[in-house]
Amino acid sequence: MRQPLALPALGLMLLGSAALLRAQSTALSAQDVWIRAMPASDVAAAYLTLHNQGQETLVVVAVRSPVAQQAMIHESRIVEGRSTMRPRATVPVAPGRTVRFAPGGLHIMLTGLKRKLTPGEDVPLLLELQGGASLAVSAHVRALGSD
């Protein structure tokens, strides 16, 4: 007799989990998403501004794009007068906060480009969040020097 109740309970639990994932993904928004095209190169850098409109910290854990073999979050800094670039495993965005990916700071490195990126085109990026949610964005390609 207990089995018939277990199945509806499991269904409700799964629906609740799906609703939570949708709520998480809609709480994070992205603006000014763009890529700096690098002529004659198989790498490019992407920039954007993330804003968390939710009540929980959201954490970006990975990025993917169909135009690149690999997409990684990096951070550039000046250390002892020299520019360094290091990978970042995660980027937390606290509730009500904004995190800006910009030249000379946080950015998304697209490596192993599968084709040349043309200024004016839009490139899909998928930001994966901790917990399984994701945010799909479209990055506008800008010519080198047009930042």
- pLDDT per residue of the chain (147 residues) written in tens, 0 to 9: 455 544 444 343 444 444 444 444 469 999 999 999 888 889 999 999 999 999 999 999 999 999 999 999 999 877 788 888 899 999 999 999 999 999 999 999 999 999 999 999 999 999 999 999 999 999 999 988 766
CATH number at residue 119: 2.60.40.1890
Burial class (CB in 10 A: 0-12, 13-18, 19+), 129: buried
**pTM over the 0.85 mark:** no
DSSP state of 42: S
* Domain contains 124: yes
Nearby residues of 56 by Cβ (< 8 Å), 6 or more positions away: 24, 27, 95
Which of 122, 116, 115 lies closest to 141 in space, CA to CA? 122
Kindly state whether residue 93 falls inside one of the protein's structural domains.
yes
Asked, for residue 58, whether it belongs to a domain, the answer is yes
Total domains in the fold of the chain: 1
